[in-house]
Amino acid sequence: MEKRPVGRFAPTPSGRMHLGNVFAALLSWLSPKSRGGDWILRMEDLDTLRTKAEYAELLRDDLRWLGLDWDLETEAQSLRSAVYDRYFEELKEKNLLFPCYCTRSQLHNVNAPHLSDGTYVYAGTCRNLTEAQRAEKKRLPSWRVMVPDREFALTDLIQGDYRENLLTDRGDFVVRRADGVYVYQLAVTVDDGESGVTEVVRGWDLLGSAPRQMYLQELFGFRHPEYAHIPMLMAPEGRRLSKRNQDLDMGALRTRLKPEQLIGVLAHAAGLTETAAPISAVELATVFDWAKIEGRTEIVVTELDTLYR
Ligand code: GLU
């Protein structure tokens, strides 16, 4: 028997929800709800400079307005450093961590191989420093986890096959910053693992994070979830509907539309329905199927005009 699905939505409360976030929330809700599963909400507020409690409250209010009810809200990440400490110590005991003293400019050195998304491959500079060399350093280190020379592969429900050799494509990556704050990769792995998440549905921009998270899942003894990375929303004329479209944030959308109208437009764009007719999230769950979305590299919001009426 298939395991009871557990999905989640893990927004960063750093502003009002935008059309793209609404779409991610909707799909992450539909997938488990169409199969009698649960949906968890979690605030990813590690970046305390950008996130605010009032944005988290607005997010909850926007989700309720959309009719996306959550079964459980797990503890916000900013409250969980003691939990992350335990996993960090576990890695340390396994001798998988090392302190890294590189400055930002050393890391982004023009000689370092760069990935297409602008990030660099860590050259292993601080991996083999001796204790004496470490003692000479005058700055607080970040902590990196050593990665194996091995491919991590997944079959994404939308994007298909994706693989990365962690050593040659990424290099050892940071799990705790020099100021003691844990990074997204560690926190998300611990939180998804501890809450029994079976599927991760989120924006396409995080596809490249999945192999690192799969490696940490392996180290911590968590099962790999299924992944679905959602393509970027596009306007009919080929323009990206980015966060800069302020007129497509929930503050504006809610003044112009009913939730069923907004969901109807998104469902149609995703290929879930034949028309953009209004539909509730609950009704949409009865026709939801990943096979209808699979293989899409772009999602064009053909009925974009409707969102401005
Ligand atoms: N907190 C991330 C965001 O808002 C999502 C992380 C995830 O879903 O894994 O973009």
- Predicted confidence at residue 256, as pLDDT, reads 96
Kind of pairing between the strands at 38-42 and 72-74 = parallel
Whether 197 is in the pocket of ligand 1, judged by its Cβ within 6 Å, is: no
Task: Return the ligand 1 atom nearest residue 44 CA.
Answer: 1
Residues 6+ apart with CB under 8 A from 59: 11, 13, 17, 43
Whether 41 is in the pocket of ligand 1, judged by its Cβ within 6 Å, is: no
* Interatomic CA distance for residues 199 and 217, integer angstroms: 13
By the 8 A CB rule, do 73 and 206 touch?
no
Residues 6+ apart with CB under 8 A from 93: none
The residue whose CB lies within 8 Å of the most ligand 1 atoms, and thus the one to mutate among 22, 154, 184, is 184
The residue whose CB lies within 8 Å of the most ligand 1 atoms, and thus the one to mutate among 188, 191, 216, 224, is 188
pLDDT confidence band for 261 (50 / 70 / 90):
very high
pLDDT in tens, 114-142: 666 667 899 899 999 999 999 999 999 99
- Predicted confidence at residue 2, as pLDDT, reads 64
By the 8 A CB rule, do 142 and 99 touch?
yes
DSSP character string of 221-271: TPPPPEEEEEPPEE-TTS-B--TT-GGGBHHHHHHH--HHHHHHHHHHHTT
CA dihedral 82, 55, 213, 29 (to 10 degrees): 120
**How many residues are listed for the chain in this entry?**
309
Task: Return the ligand 1 atom nearest residue 202 CA.
Answer: 8
Tokens describing residue 72: 């459980």
Residues 6+ apart with CB under 8 A from 76: 42, 43, 44, 45, 56
pLDDT confidence band for 247 (50 / 70 / 90):
confident
By the 8 A CB rule, do 147 and 166 touch?
yes
* Interatomic CA distance for residues 266 and 67, integer angstroms: 14
By the 8 A CB rule, do 32 and 13 touch?
no
The residue whose CB lies within 8 Å of the most ligand 1 atoms, and thus the one to mutate among 202, 227, 230, 242, is 202
- Predicted confidence at residue 278, as pLDDT, reads 98
**Cα(120) to centroid of ligand 1, in Å?**
21
Whether 183 is in the pocket of ligand 1, judged by its Cβ within 6 Å, is: no
pLDDT in tens, 89-121: 999 999 999 999 998 888 877 566 666 666 789
